[in-house]
Structure 1
Amino acid sequence: MIVLGCIALIAGCGSMGLWLAQRIRRRPEELRGCLVALTLLDTEIVWGSTPLPEAFCVLKERTDVPWQGFFSELQKRLERGEPAGEAWNNEISLQSSRFCLKQEDWRVIRDIGKGLGRSDGQEQHKQLELVLRQLTMLKDQVGIWSEKQAKMWSYLGFLCGIAGVLILI
């Protein structure tokens, strides 16, 4: 019976560590997805002269989960008549818990809402270009950081389980 309890404790702590490691590994993937989506948005605004609700419809079709839901909700908000910047910020507030991104990532992404739909295509292009550069730098830094952190948390989970067993014995 004690052996089963020890195995359960190690497995539970180990699973928690693996779950945290998986969330950390998803962060660079989500940033990459955001970069792709914002590049598509830039193309739709500048080259396609597409209205924002239609541009968000294109984005929801061409992006992966969880960005699909984000752009789908943005499209619905704009079709209801909500201003683009306000819709962008409100949607970030509502959906940020579905992502593995940190607050520093959201701060950069939130900057897009400041000029979205308020100016001509060239100004929006400049704003998107700036955010794309910032996100690219952030993604590069996060890629290295996340791999180290993910390994640490996966090992730490099992080690905490073993430590708990040793303390209880």
Structure 2
Amino acid sequence: MLKLIGASLVIFAGTFIGMQLGSYLAHRPLQIRQLRAGLTLLETEIVYGSRPLLEALASISRRLTGDVARLFARAAELSAEEPDLAASECWHQAVQYVWRDTAMKEPEKEILLQLGSVLGQSDREDQQKHLKLALANLEHEEMNARDNQRRYEKMCRSLGVLSGILIVILLY
């Protein structure tokens, strides 16, 4: 009886790990899509709304959800707390702070850091060009993430269950 309970727990643990890995793969395209929506809103706020960057970031953070909203909120907080800090530095610190909690990978981080290096340092048209470039790069990364999700999500979940079964077979 004890062996059966132990075997069930091992299989459950393997299944849980597989489900978590599959969930991670499913969250990445979603978060990239949310990030693209946030940058589109930022472009609208900068180009058409003529709002200061601090207000635009705070407004966008209220419209979004999850880790992406935290990114915009953190950048707005840093900008409000330390007015001497450049917008690019606030953005960089916000990306570093929020990134460990996201499912996104290094290419998306590099895109955001490149965008942050020019954020708030030029006129509206130049800002719009940089935002469009970042959006195009993120669109490419989203396609890659969706492709990886299709390719590997089901495999991760199946491997989780099968690895749990394999461990049970090897132990008993």
Q: Which moved more, 1:131-140 or 1:25-34?
A: 131-140
Distance 2:65 2:26 in 1: 16
Task: Write the letter of the residue equivalent to 2:136.
Answer: R
Instruction: State the percentage of identical aligned residues.
Output: 28
CA deviation string 1:48-89 (max 9, x = no partner): 111100000110111111122211111111122121111111
Q: Which residue of 2 is the match for residue 37 of structure 1? A: 38
The aligned runs of 1:36-75 (5 Å cut-off) are 36-75=37-76
Distance 1:104 1:38 in 2: 16
SS state at 2:49 partner: coil
Distance 1:145 1:73 in 2: 29
Q: Which residue of 2 is the match for residue 139 of structure 1? A: 142
Shift in Å, 1:111: 1.2
Q: Which residue of 2 is the match for residue 120 of structure 1? A: 123
Q: Which residue of 2 is the match for residue 163 of structure 1? A: 166
SS state at 1:66 partner: helix
Structure 1 gap segments, 5+ residues each: none
Q: Which residue of 1 is the match for residue 99 of structure 2? A: 96
Preserved CA contact (<8 Å) 2:88 2:119:
yes
Structure 2 counterpart of 1:107, from 110, 115, 127: 110
Aligned-residue CA RMSD (Å): 0.9
Task: Write the letter of the residue equivalent to 2:107.
Answer: E
Alignment length, in residue pairs? 169
Structure 2 gap segments, 5+ residues each: none
Q: Which moved more, 1:103-112 or 1:22-31?
A: 103-112
Q: TM-score, structure 2 length as denominator?
A: 0.95
Q: TM-score, structure 1 length as denominator?
A: 0.97
Preserved CA contact (<8 Å) 2:67 2:98:
no
Q: Which residue of 1 is the match for residue 152 of structure 2? A: 149
CA deviation string 1:69-112 (max 9, x = no partner): 21111111112212111111111111101100011221112111
CA deviation string 1:97-128 (max 9, x = no partner): 11000112211121111110111111110000
Q: Which moved more, 1:121-130 or 1:144-153?
A: 144-153
